[in-house]
Chain A
Amino acid sequence: MVEQTTTGLNHRKMLMWLFLGSDCLFFGSFIATYLIYRGESLVGPFPEDVFSIPVTTVSTFVLLMSSMSMVLAYSAINRGNMRAFRVWLLSTCLLGATFLGFQTFEFYEFANHEKTVECQPGSQVPECVAGANEYKEDYGLTPQTNLFGTTFFTLTGFHGAHVTVGVIWLLSITGYSFIGGRKAQRVLTDKQALSVDLAALYWHFVDIVWIVIFAVVYLIGVGVT
């Protein structure tokens, strides 16, 4: 659709693309900082101690599928199919919330991580005194633990905050589609469903940032020694 603007493009959409372009710098700096301090932590835990690649692969899959449901919601509203639009948009919210659930689980597991230590002769640790061969020691990762914790939680925490904003945005559009009546249908389908398109662009951006984080922080972070 050609707009009556100097560029012939919608200003709101242009602003969203400008924001996404600038957000690349935001996340780029965090990823660079993570890579700069990679391997510089003096104390553990280290990435290979806490990361669970199978769990993160599943959460990555969930976020990728949320992008598919988002684009199907956009496709449905463009065809004027409000029912399908609501179903796909709610699915996107649900998948986004599931991803956040995975991230919360991961953060909790990292913070409460333990390592097994063998009992040495003469050890005064209660478990060893009681005759055990080994005992569990706190080996949790928090932002204060080491450079890995600081850079990892800052990067993935800000990404999680972006996902949270996206879920709230999509939920508000879903709610509006239910309570807004005919006006909502008109507003949401206006200008090739621009309101939905903007939210979708933001959502897909969150997805592509995670694609990079998954490869650079998780796969390369643990797989490359």
Chain B
Amino acid sequence: MVDSPGHREGAHPTAATYIKVAFTLAALTAIEFAVFYLDMPNPVLITVFLLLSLVKFALVILFYMHLKFDSRLFSGVFIGGLVLAVAVSVALMAIFQARWTNNRSCAHPHSACDGR
């Protein structure tokens, strides 16, 4: 058998823990639903929705997908892909935003774009 430094596999949680996590996930979804109907400023709404979904996301990958108990290498492989996905998404949105802002300002009759 080969010993692995990144290996930290311990006993997986009990069924009771899985059910507690499920209740938490259901409660967080109910909070999301309630917040949706509250009259709040857009930045607050976006922050609350993103935070709640982040907590739900973390609960599933840590407990249900066992990343909390499995090898750190698995976490690295998955989180690496996730970080890359977020970076690509942000870059794409920034590129399109910049391009559209430029196009709209050039469409203005007094713009200095010279037909660009």
Contacts and interface: CB of A to CB of B under 8 A. Distances in A.
Contacts, number: 159
Interface residues on B, range: 35 or more
Nearest to A225: B42
Given A9-B74, A67-B60, A224 B46 contact: yes
Contacts of B73: 7, 9, 14
Contacts of A215: 32, 49-50, 52-53
Contacts of A212: 53, 57
Interface SS of chain B:
helix
Interface in B32-77: 32-33, 36, 42, 45-46, 49-50, 52-53, 56-57, 60-61, 63-65, 71, 73-74, 77
Given A7-B73, A207-B60, A2 B1 contact: yes
Interface residues of A, number: 58
B89 A9 contact: no
Given A2-B1, A7-B4, A208-B61, A219 B49 contact: yes
B43 to A, nearest CB: 9
Contacts of B50: 215, 220
Contact of B88 (A21, A25, A211): A25
A21 B29 contact: no
